Structure 1
Amino acid sequence: MKNFPAISPAVHLSSRCRTAGSSAFFSFLQKTNQLGGRAEPATASTTAFAEIPPAITWLTVAQMAVKHPAWSENSLRALIFASKDRVAAVRKGTQNIIPGNGLAAAIRRVGRRVLINEKEFLDWVDQQGIKERQARG
Structure 2
Amino acid sequence: MQDLPEYLTVKQFAETYPAFTAGGLRSAIFWKGDELENAGAIARLGRRVLINTPVFLRLVQAGGLRSVRGAA
TM-score bracket, shorter-length normalisation? 0.7 to 0.9
User: Which residue number in structure 1 is paired with residue 10 of structure 2?
Assistant: 61
> How many Å apart are 1:70 and its aligned residue?
0.4
Greater fraction helix:
1
What TM-score, normalized by structure 1, do the two folds share? 0.40
Equivalent position of 1:78 in the other structure? 27
Q: After TM superposition, which residue ranges in structure 1, 4 or more long, deviate above 6 angstroms? A: none
Residue ranges of structure 2 left out of the alignment (5+ in a row): 67-72
Q: Distance in 1 between matches of 2:47 and 2:33?
A: 17
Q: CA RMSD in A?
A: 2.2
Q: CA deviation at 1:54?
A: 4.9
1:120 aligns with 2:49: no
Structure 1: gaps (5+ residues): 1-52, 86-101, 132-137
Q: How many residues align?
A: 62
Query: Which has more radius of gyration?
Result: 1
Q: Is the contact between residue 3 and residue 54 of structure 2 (CA under 8 Å) also seen in structure 1?
A: no
Contact 2:14 2:22 in 1 (8 A): yes
Structure 2 length as normaliser, TM-score? 0.73
Amino acid in the other structure paired with 1:80: I
**Are residues 73 and 109 of structure 1, via their aligned partners in 2, closer, same or farther at CA, if it must alter by over 3 Å?**
same
- Calculate percent identity across the aligned residue pairs: 45
Q: Using CA pairs under 8 Å that are at least 6 residues apart, name the structure with larger relative contact order, 1 or 2.
A: 2
